[in-house]
Structure formats: structure tokens, C-alpha cells
Amino acid sequence: MPARGSRGSNSARTGTPTRSTRNSSNTASRCRAAAEDFATGDVVVMWIDPEHFETRERVEATAERLTDLADRVAEHGLQLNYHNHAHEFTDLGETTGYELLVEEAEGVKFELDAGWAGTGGATPAALLRDIADHVTLVHIKDMNFETGEFVTFGEGDLDVEGVVSAARDADVEWLLFENDEPTDPVAEPAHASVTLDRYTDHYC
């Protein structure tokens, strides 16, 4: 299970914003062209607006759109993935908006952003174990879960050891370190690599 920084990773993927999923046929064609440019078989939906997670009905409609897009890109030999932030973790009673999306979206894999999941109220390691069959990559981002602020890796609320253990048990291919607002963009990836090295059998 390799662990990589956000720069220099050979886990290439190409992304599409939520508005692009409205016309799945045209989006699939554009995704194919971008995937060829980046020599990747993965397409990632990077953002879906918060209002689509406010009710069960809206989440189910969103899952239907993603399922349709997944079918379209699969015709081009591509795998559709979804990358979360915090707003997907709405309280829908017995589940959250994110977990319902995972359950309902067929043919879609998930890039779990552990930092945003924790900020949204989830326990990242436990969530990863619950949805292990659907996760292909984990963004291992440390944050202050209460404020949503980015912090130096290993100094925030993320249970790094727990997430790495869950990722290993789930046979997740990639752990991807990420810090959206690093204090030092050169030093912080190196620091994260050393920190991750304690838990990943030196595959950094």
C-alpha cells in the first residue's frame, strides 16, 4: 500500500465538477479525452453542491445521476469515483447523506477524504471499515475537526494510525497525503512522509 504526497504521485486521475454530470453523454466523452491525456483509467467527481445532500430524496436523485455517469464512462473503459468534503455528512436519521450516496450509487467508487469526513462528524477509520468495498483511495488529510482548519500532519484530530490500519485491512491501493493550505509546501509533505512511514511499513 504505497503512501504518496500530493506532488510526485503516480496515482493519476482526472476530475469533473458536479455541473458536468448533468449531460452524462457529453461529459463521458470529455472525460475519455482527458483520461487519455493523463494516461489514467479513473475519473473523479470532485464536488457536488451541499443542497444535494439535504434530504434522502435529493441524495437518491444525486446517486441516480452518478450511476448514469458511471455507466457512460464505463463504455469508454473508465471508472467513476467520487471525492467527498464535509457537507455530504448530513444527518438523515439512521444514516448520513454520504453513506446513503455510497449505498445507492451503482458502479461508483469513492475517494475517501478522511480529514473532511472527520470534520463532517464521521469517525474516519470506522467509516472506512464500513464502506471498505467501495473505496479505492484515501486522502489522509489532518485537520481540526471542530473548526475545519488544516493543520500540520500528525498534529490535528485525525487518527492517523487508525485510518492507515483500516486502509490496509480494506486493501486500499493508495494513501494520498494532502494539505490544502500548508504553512510550508516543501517541508510539510516531507514531514508527512516521515510520519506515515511509522505506519506503512516504509512504502513511502
Coil, strand, or helix at residue 47? strand
CATH number of the domain enclosing 8: 3.20.20.150
Residue 58 is assigned to a structural domain of this protein: yes
Number of independent structural domains in the chain: 1
**pTM strictly above 0.85:** yes
Any idea which residue has 489514467 for its cell? Answer: 40
The whole-angstrom separation of Cα 117 and Cα 91 is 13
Identify whether the C-beta of residue 27 lies closer than 8 Å to the C-beta of residue 72: yes
Domain that holds residue 158: 3-197
- The per-residue pLDDT for range 100-159, each reduced to its tens digit, is 999 999 999 999 999 999 999 999 999 999 999 999 999 999 999 999 999 999 999 999
Residue 23 is assigned to a structural domain of this protein: yes
The whole-angstrom separation of Cα 84 and Cα 58 is 16
Residue 39 is assigned to a structural domain of this protein: yes
Q: Which residues contact 137 (CB under 8 A, 6 or more apart)?
A: 11, 81, 111, 112, 172, 173, 174, 175, 176
- The per-residue pLDDT for range 54-103, each reduced to its tens digit, is 999 999 999 999 999 999 999 999 999 999 999 999 999 999 999 999 99
